[in-house]
Amino acid sequence: MAAPEVTHLPNLPNDVEGLRQSIRDAVVRVVGEDPRQATERDWMEALAFAIRERMVERRLLTRRQFADEDVKRVYYLSMEYLIGRMLEANLRNMGILEPARQAMADLGVNLDTILDLEDDAALGNGGLGRLAACILESLATQGYPGYGYGIRYEFGMFRQEFEPYHQVEHPDNWLRYGNPWEFPRSDRKYPIHFYGHVVEHHHPRGETRYTWENGEEVLAMAYDYPTAGYGRRNVNNLRLWAAKATRDFDLRYFNEGDYIRAVADKAESETISMVLYPNDATAIGKELRLKQEYFFVSASLQDILDRHLALGYNLDALPDKVAIQLNDTHPAIAVAELMRLLVDCHELSWDRAWDLARRTFAYTNHTLMPEALETWPVELMERVLPRHMGIIYQINHDFLEQVRHRYPGDNDRLARLSIIDEQNGRRVRMAHLAVVGSHRVNGVAALHTQLLQETLFEDFYNLWPERFVNVTNGVTPRLWMIQANPALTELLGQRIGNDWQYDLDRLRALEPYAHDADLQKAFLDVKRANKVRLANLVRERTGVELNPDVMFDVQIKRIHEYKRQLLKLLHVVDLYRRIRAGEDVAPRVVLFGGKAAPGYARAKGIIQVINEVADIVNHDPAVGDRLKCVFFPNYEVSSASIIIPAADVSEQISTAGFEASGTGNMKLALNGALTIGTLDGANIEIRDAVGEESIFIFGMTADEVVEHRRNGPNPEAILAQQPNLAAAVEMIESGFFTCDDPGTHGDLGRYLRHEDPFFVIADYAAYTEACERADTLYADRTAWAEAAILNVARMGYFSIDRTVRDYANQIWDIIPEPVAPSRTNGAA
Ligand code: GPV
């Protein structure tokens, strides 16, 4: 037993005076600068250090309590965490935002200026990565023992520039100034193996044993990011792994005297955690990607087992103390890796290990789109992870035995269910491995889960219906309301108090005031102020002037054909042509934001044509304020929090059946934007929640899309019947908007006329009609305010806190463990 003064945790003061002291000290002791000469960045760093020492204190308190209470923990395994800036969020969740603001002011520094200096942590592509970040925040806020594991990419999501119309990608060197939020843990390193071969050891009695030999080794080193809960003392941890060469990285070359080559190889081995693949909902068939996946999975599982054993539990208790959530199939190799660790390293029998693994894992699917489903060539898996390939064969063998027993003679079904796809040159289907290796599989919205059961996983659903559950996505109100929309937060506080910050359903208390004229006026004033805030940012970033009294119509998300940015663009071109023809159309600002995967030519073409159309429209004196079109460059979490509160209309117009859920739809509606949307993903549940009056639904349903495709779509025939649409397509393909490469717009015309894979043409008439319904309502300011207020009041269901409770109760079987103030560390 160590002496009390050794085990005592410091208890730093959180008042203005205490914070000021810490910050000033940190400028000298951590930054190494004279406070007289410190720059704004120096002060930012000092402030971050003052916060982080307070966070780690609570982190340790939290960890002590979890250990004392023998809690079950959940581990979230995700290749992506789209966190954004951390300074303001950490200040707020630690409960010291206002004292820190005052302390900084006392030191002569404006906090808001400092907040703007921080780079986003953009370790993710889009919805999937942002969902992971929201889930971690909610786990801490609700006091759940929940931890994230991922990769500490040296370079996150690329920075997008337009030169001048097409997208150019620039590296995101987010760690160039160092990172005050991370705790490098050089004592927490695990060896990770690749390549080599497997040796069998036959035992006369008992199972054959396997060793994996002569591979390459790299180390995974932990970097910890404390994650604070809002309004609680709980602080959880996000552990990100970075690749480091082993000390004796390559003895062979050293022995041969090729010192330079050996050092170069060291650098090469550290490339594993170098860069985030910038692909959203598209599988990447690269060896380096497979190595990234295995690298972070192996390190995380070794760490989880170490902790489990260090806490004194035995391996048989694994599913009672540990739940592991696989965020899509990116970490699905975990199923094989846990088997390897349990069987080869801890010498459990195969059957015992399999039972533990299955009861520990659960898998979230985020898409039905075939191009996103990860499959790895058997040959590649065999070379990179030879032992895992053997384990997968064994898992598949046992699984198919079960299927054969259940469906004797049904060879087609066996082929459909098999983890190995034998049709396409032998590939490992990672989704099948994840389903077979999990006790729960969930989709991310009601429609998506239903479609999973009926299509992609139909055979699995018939086999194990109890395994499938829905967990509709959500968003954190701390970032997406309190931080992003302080004006609306303030107004809500005046009207209904602040309980909704912890229990978003309480927004419903607003309903009775929806037709209160004072509230309506205040609500519209808040929206207008947010639009002015956005207009200032748009002017700064693009030079375009926006009139805040015109409807702001916003489509912000990754660029994908299925998300149908082209549908919105056709509407813009249609309106533009009609304005030029002297027609009176309702005015609007159309704002796009989002990145295209660098290798996705069609998506990049869509960005280019939008920029070209925008340039013509915005400079046409005949148009004035009646139409503006902006492509907001480098859309990221920090810009989303300015754009979203300023939106009047939210475009959620994916082809029905393709958007698993969407979460931007939730953020926008929560901030009072009315949705124009298809019956896709969570839009359906949003409609059910807010009511038909507060949403503009249009277009084919998922069933009708299937039917439409079956009937052989004929875009040309539709164009022949719709003169406005035909004129818009003709205007584009005529080259009217061509600023850069001639020819690209002709290609786009051909694409719409002859391919149109996501039925932009077929849904166009319904879409414009929905836009007109929105215009009509918008013109009636009272009616619009009422609908928008009701929209906010009814969005409580889409809190990430509800989502996390659903996971906790239906999948993880964990309960909250709020950290209590202790006697020795009891200050608030
Ligand atoms: I798979 N999603 C994503 O952002 N990246 C991916 O690689 C895959 C899915 C998204 C879906 O497209 C959204 O509909 C969903 O809301 C989001 O994941 C979170 O579930």
Tokens of 75: 């581990």
Asked whether residue 105 is domain-assigned, the answer is: yes
Tokens of 812: 């993880």
Q: Does residue 608 share a domain with residue 461?
A: no
CA 9 to mean position of chain CA atoms: 35
Ligand 1 atom at minimal distance to the Cα of residue 662? 16
Residues in the chain, total: 828
- Cα of 277 vs centre of ligand 1, distance in Å, is 15
Ligand 1 atom at minimal distance to the Cα of residue 558? 4
> Tokens 């080259």 correspond to what residue?
735
Q: Measured between alpha carbons, how far is 686 from 665 in angstroms, rounded to an integer?
A: 8
Least confident range from 7-11, 227-231, 662-666: namely 7-11
First to last CA, the chain: 28
Out of 663, 675, 738, 768, pick the active-site residue: 663
Q: Measured between alpha carbons, how far is 531 from 472 in angstroms, rounded to an integer?
A: 30
Upstream peptide bond of 164 is cis (omega within 30 degrees of 0): yes
Out of 448, 558, 604, 745, pick the active-site residue: 558
What was the pLDDT predicted at 650?
99
* Atom 1, ligand 1: residue with shortest CA distance: 281
Out of 366, 448, 588, 604, pick the active-site residue: 366
Which residues are CB-neighbours of 493 under 8 A, at least 6 positions away? none
| Helix or strand holding residue 255 (H, E) | helix 251-255
- Mean pLDDT for 498-527 is 98
What was the pLDDT predicted at 253?
66
**Model confidence at 204: pLDDT above 90:** no
**Model confidence at 758: pLDDT above 90:** yes
- Mean pLDDT for 538-549 is 98
* Atom 19, ligand 1: residue with shortest CA distance: 128
How confident is the model over 782-807, as pLDDT tens digits?
Answer: 999 999 999 999 999 999 999 999 99
For residue 591, give the nearest of 623, 622, 628 by alpha carbon: 628
Q: Does residue 514 share a domain with residue 454?
A: no
What was the pLDDT predicted at 249?
61
> What pLDDT band is residue 382 in, cutting at 50, 70 and 90?
very high
> What pLDDT band is residue 826 in, cutting at 50, 70 and 90?
very low
- Cα of 492 vs centre of ligand 1, distance in Å, is 31
Asked whether residue 722 is domain-assigned, the answer is: yes
Residue 736: Cβ-neighbour burial (10 angstroms; 0-12, 13-18, 19+): middle
Tokens of 295: 């690298």
For residue 560, give the nearest of 815, 376, 371, 796 by alpha carbon: 371
Asked whether residue 808 is domain-assigned, the answer is: no
Out of 59, 233, 244, 557, pick the active-site residue: 557
Q: What is the mean pLDDT of the chain?
A: 96
Number of domains observed in the structure of the chain = 3
Last residue of a domain, one of 472, 495, 518: 472
What was the pLDDT predicted at 444?
99
- Cα of 435 vs centre of ligand 1, distance in Å, is 18
Ligand 1 pocket test, pick from 366, 447, 667 with the greatest ligand atom count within 8 Å of Cβ, gives 366
HSE-up (13 A, CA, CB side) for residue 530: 30
Q: Does residue 622 share a domain with residue 678?
A: yes
- Cα of 586 vs centre of ligand 1, distance in Å, is 34
Ligand 1 atom at minimal distance to the Cα of residue 444? 20
- Cα of 682 vs centre of ligand 1, distance in Å, is 12
387 is catalytic: no
Q: Does residue 786 share a domain with residue 748?
A: yes
CATH number of the CATH domain containing 302: 3.40.50.2000
Q: Does residue 269 share a domain with residue 162?
A: yes
- Cα of 327 vs centre of ligand 1, distance in Å, is 10
**Model confidence at 157: pLDDT above 70:** yes
Angle at 421 between CA 416 and CA 422, to 5 degrees: 105
- Mean pLDDT for 222-230 is 98
How confident is the model over 683-697, as pLDDT tens digits?
Answer: 999 999 999 989 999
Ligand 1 pocket test, pick from 134, 135, 280, 441 with the greatest ligand atom count within 8 Å of Cβ, gives 280
User: Would you give the DSSP letter of residue 747?
Assistant: H
* Atom 16, ligand 1: residue with shortest CA distance: 662
Q: Does residue 437 share a domain with residue 499?
A: no
- Mean pLDDT for 642-671 is 99
User: Would you give the DSSP letter of residue 559?
Assistant: -
Which amino acid, residue 254?
F
- Mean pLDDT for 421-439 is 97
- Mean pLDDT for 626-652 is 98
Q: Measured between alpha carbons, how far is 698 from 690 in angstroms, rounded to an integer?
A: 16
Which residues are CB-neighbours of 375 under 8 A, at least 6 positions away? 283, 421, 424, 427, 428, 429, 430
Rounded to the nearest 5°, which phi and psi values hold at 630? -130, 135
What was the pLDDT predicted at 251?
63
Residue 355 pairs with which residues in a beta bridge? Answer: none
Task: Count each helix (H run) and each strand (E run) in the chain, helices first.
Answer: 34, 24
Asked whether residue 819 is domain-assigned, the answer is: no
Which residues are CB-neighbours of 217 under 8 A, at least 6 positions away? 191, 192, 193, 194, 246
What was the pLDDT predicted at 823?
42
Rounded to the nearest 5°, which phi and psi values hold at 710? -60, -35
- Cα of 728 vs centre of ligand 1, distance in Å, is 31
Q: Measured between alpha carbons, how far is 437 from 297 in angstroms, rounded to an integer?
A: 15
What was the pLDDT predicted at 824?
44
Q: Measured between alpha carbons, how far is 484 from 641 in angstroms, rounded to an integer?
A: 5
Q: Does residue 113 share a domain with residue 145?
A: no
**Model confidence at 739: pLDDT above 90:** no
SS3 content of the chain, % helix, strand, coil (to 5): 50, 15, 30
Yes or no: say if 803 and 479 are a contact pair by the CB < 8 Å rule: no
527 is catalytic: no
- Cα of 35 vs centre of ligand 1, distance in Å, is 46
What was the pLDDT predicted at 308?
98
Asked whether residue 274 is domain-assigned, the answer is: yes
Q: Measured between alpha carbons, how far is 579 from 584 in angstroms, rounded to an integer?
A: 7
Last residue of a domain, one of 472, 494, 512: 472
366 is catalytic: yes
Out of 667, 738, 794, 803, pick the active-site residue: 667
667 is catalytic: yes
Q: Does residue 451 share a domain with residue 337?
A: yes
Residue 284: Cβ-neighbour burial (10 angstroms; 0-12, 13-18, 19+): middle
| Helix or strand holding residue 534 (H, E) | helix 517-542
558 is catalytic: yes
Ligand 1 atom at minimal distance to the Cα of residue 682? 16
Residue 75 pairs with which residues in a beta bridge? Answer: 147, 324
**Model confidence at 1: pLDDT above 60:** no
Yes or no: say if 147 and 322 are a contact pair by the CB < 8 Å rule: no
Q: Does residue 133 share a domain with residue 97?
A: no
Q: Does residue 434 share a domain with residue 333?
A: yes
Which amino acid, residue 493?
G
Last residue of a domain, one of 424, 440, 472: 472
**Model confidence at 740: pLDDT above 80:** no
> What pLDDT band is residue 827 in, cutting at 50, 70 and 90?
very low
How confident is the model over 366-377, as pLDDT tens digits?
Answer: 999 999 999 999
In the chain, % of residues over pLDDT 70: 97
- Cα of 125 vs centre of ligand 1, distance in Å, is 9
Q: Measured between alpha carbons, how far is 720 from 566 in angstroms, rounded to an integer?
A: 19
> What pLDDT band is residue 4 in, cutting at 50, 70 and 90?
low
Q: Measured between alpha carbons, how far is 501 from 557 in angstroms, rounded to an integer?
A: 26
574-590: burial string, b at 16+ Cβ within 10 Å, e else: bbbbbbeeeeeebbbbb
Q: Measured between alpha carbons, how far is 6 from 4 in angstroms, rounded to an integer?
A: 5
Number of Cβ atoms within 10 Å of the Cβ of 162: 16
Asked whether residue 807 is domain-assigned, the answer is: no
32-51: burial string, b at 16+ Cβ within 10 Å, e else: ebebeebeeebbbbbbbbbb
How confident is the model over 174-203, as pLDDT tens digits?
Answer: 999 999 999 999 999 999 999 999 999 998
Residues with a CB atom less than 6 Å from ligand 1: 125-128, 131, 280-281, 328, 366-367, 372, 444, 473, 659-663, 681
**Model confidence at 828: pLDDT above 50:** no
For residue 15, give the nearest of 96, 90, 91 by alpha carbon: 96
> What pLDDT band is residue 821 in, cutting at 50, 70 and 90?
low
* Atom 18, ligand 1: residue with shortest CA distance: 128
72 is catalytic: no
* Atom 2, ligand 1: residue with shortest CA distance: 128
For residue 47, give the nearest of 94, 111, 108 by alpha carbon: 111
Rg of the chain over all Cα atoms, to the nearest angstrom: 28
Residues of the domain holding 30: 12-67+90-117
Asked whether residue 214 is domain-assigned, the answer is: yes
Where do the DSSP E strands lie in 305-409? 322-327, 361-364, 375-377
- Mean pLDDT for 296-305 is 99
Q: Does residue 631 share a domain with residue 689?
A: yes
Ligand 1 pocket test, pick from 78, 80, 128, 800 with the greatest ligand atom count within 8 Å of Cβ, gives 128
Q: Does residue 380 share a domain with residue 301?
A: yes
Tokens of 487: 């004006």
Yes or no: say if 273 and 243 are a contact pair by the CB < 8 Å rule: yes
How confident is the model over 62-87, as pLDDT tens digits?
Answer: 999 999 999 999 999 999 999 999 99
Asked whether residue 262 is domain-assigned, the answer is: yes
In the chain, % of residues over pLDDT 90: 93
